[in-house]
Structure 1
Amino acid sequence: MKISDNLLRIPGLNRIISILGIDKAIFYTVVGVIWSSLAGILSIFFIVNYLTLAEQGYWYTFMSLGALATFAELGFTTIITQFISHEYAHLEEKNGKLEGDEDKLDRTVSLVKFSFKFYLIITLIAFIILSTIGVIFLKSFTNNYQLLLAWVLYSFTGAFLLLVSLFGAVLKGFNKVEKVQKIITLAGFVSTVSIWIALFAGLNLWSLAVGGFVNIAFSMLLYISSSRSLLAQILHENVKGYYNWLKETLPLQWRYAISWASGYFIFQFIVPVAMFYAGASIAGQLGMSLVMVRAVQSMAGSWGMTKVPQLNIFVAQKKRQSLDGLFKTLQWQSLLVYTLGSLALLLLMIFIFPIINWNVRILPIGENVILFIAEGVNLIIFNWAFFLRSHKQEPYVKISFLSAVLTAFGVWLSYYLFSSTLLALCSFLAAQLIILIPARRILKIKRKEYDEGKIGY
Structure 2
Amino acid sequence: MSVASSPSRSLNISKISKSIKASVTKDVMFTLVNSLWRIISGPVTLVFIPLFLTSQVQGFWYTFISLAALTVFADLGFTTIVTQFAAHEYARLTFNAETGLFEGETNDIKRIGSLLRFVFKWSVSVGAVGFPVILSVGFLMFRGKGGNVNWPLPWCVYVLSSGLSFTTQSVLSFFEGCSQIAAIEKNKFVSAIASTIATLTFLYFGFNLYSLAFAAFIAAAINIGMLYFRFGKLIAQMVTESKGYIVNWKTDFLNLIWRYAISWSSGYFIFQIYTPLMFQFHGPAEAGKVGISMALASAAFSISYVWMYVANPKLNMYASTRNWKAMDKLFIKNLSLSLITFSLGAILVLSILYFYGDAFKFFHRFLGFVPMLILLLAWFFQIIINGLAVYLRAHKKEPLVVVSVALAIYIGITTLLITKYLPPKYLFLGFLTAVLWGLPVVAWIFVKKRKEWHV
Alignment check: 8 A CA contact 2:367 2:425 kept: no
Deviation of 1:146 after TM superposition, in Å, equals: 3.7
Higher mean C-alpha deviation, range 395-404 or range 341-350: 341-350
Unaligned 5+ runs, structure 1? 1-11, 453-457
Deviation of 1:34 after TM superposition, in Å, equals: 2.9
Equivalent AA in structure 1 for residue 32 of structure 2:
V
Which one of the candidate residues 434, 440, 443 is aligned to 1:431? 434
Work out the CA distance in 2 between the residues paired with 1:91 and 1:28.
23
1:13-66: CA deviations, max 9, x gaps?
x94982693322222222323322322221133212221011111111111111
Q: Percent identity?
A: 31
Deviation of 1:140 after TM superposition, in Å, equals: 4.4
Matched, 1:154 2:154: no
Aligned to 1:79: 81
Work out the CA distance in 2 between the residues paired with 1:430 and 1:72.
28
Matched, 1:322 2:326: yes
Alignment check: 8 A CA contact 1:69 1:129 kept: no
What SS does the corresponding residue of 1:187 show, helix, strand or coil?
helix
Work out the CA distance in 2 between the residues paired with 1:241 and 1:53.
55
Work out the CA distance in 1 between the residues paired with 2:51 and 2:149.
24
Unaligned 5+ runs, structure 2? 1-13
Matched, 1:259 2:253: no
Equivalent AA in structure 1 for residue 30 of structure 2:
Y
Aligned to 1:331: 335
Deviation of 1:239 after TM superposition, in Å, equals: 3.5
Work out the CA distance in 1 between the residues paired with 2:21 and 2:282.
45
Equivalent AA in structure 1 for residue 298 of structure 2:
R
Work out the CA distance in 1 between the residues paired with 2:421 and 2:50.
31
Equivalent AA in structure 1 for residue 300 of structure 2:
V
Work out the CA distance in 1 between the residues paired with 2:133 and 2:380.
31
What SS does the corresponding residue of 1:98 show, helix, strand or coil?
strand
Q: Equivalences for 1:375-394 in 2 at 5 Å? A: 375-394=379-398
Deviation of 1:431 after TM superposition, in Å, equals: 1.1
Equivalent AA in structure 2 for residue 46 of structure 1:
F
Alignment check: 8 A CA contact 1:285 1:362 kept: yes
Aligned to 1:295: 299
Aligned to 2:91: 89
What SS does the corresponding residue of 2:305 show, helix, strand or coil?
helix
Aligned to 1:399: 403
1:323-380: CA deviations, max 9, x gaps?
1111111111111111111112222223355554321011110110001100011100
Equivalent AA in structure 2 for residue 160 of structure 1:
L
Q: Equivalences for 1:41-440 in 2 at 5 Å? A: 41-94=43-96, 95-142=99-146, 146-352=150-356, 354-418=358-422, 420-440=423-443
Aligned to 2:30: 28
Work out the CA distance in 2 between the residues paired with 1:64 and 1:132.
14
Work out the CA distance in 1 between the residues paired with 2:242 and 2:348.
53
Work out the CA distance in 2 between the residues paired with 1:250 and 1:36.
35
Work out the CA distance in 2 between the residues paired with 1:15 and 1:327.
18
Work out the CA distance in 2 between the residues paired with 1:336 and 1:98.
37
Alignment check: 8 A CA contact 2:288 2:365 kept: yes
Equivalent AA in structure 2 for residue 431 of structure 1:
A
TM-score (norm 1): 0.92
Alignment check: 8 A CA contact 2:109 2:242 kept: no
Higher mean C-alpha deviation, range 63-72 or range 220-229: 220-229
Alignment check: 8 A CA contact 1:305 1:386 kept: no
Work out the CA distance in 2 between the residues paired with 1:20 and 1:137.
50
Q: CA RMSD in A?
A: 1.9
Work out the CA distance in 1 between the residues paired with 2:149 and 2:378.
37
Work out the CA distance in 2 between the residues paired with 1:20 and 1:267.
33
Work out the CA distance in 2 between the residues paired with 1:16 and 1:285.
43
Work out the CA distance in 2 between the residues paired with 1:355 and 1:417.
29
What SS does the corresponding residue of 2:103 show, helix, strand or coil?
strand
Work out the CA distance in 1 between the residues paired with 2:417 and 2:276.
14
Equivalent AA in structure 2 for residue 430 of structure 1:
T
Equivalent AA in structure 1 for residue 361 of structure 2:
N
Work out the CA distance in 2 between the residues paired with 1:29 and 1:125.
32
Q: 1:65 to 1:354 in 2, by over 3 A?
A: same
What SS does the corresponding residue of 1:181 show, helix, strand or coil?
helix
Equivalent AA in structure 1 for residue 128 of structure 2:
L
Work out the CA distance in 1 between the residues paired with 2:39 and 2:56.
23
Alignment check: 8 A CA contact 1:135 1:152 kept: no
Higher mean C-alpha deviation, range 187-196 or range 42-51: 42-51
Aligned to 2:7: none
Deviation of 1:125 after TM superposition, in Å, equals: 2.1
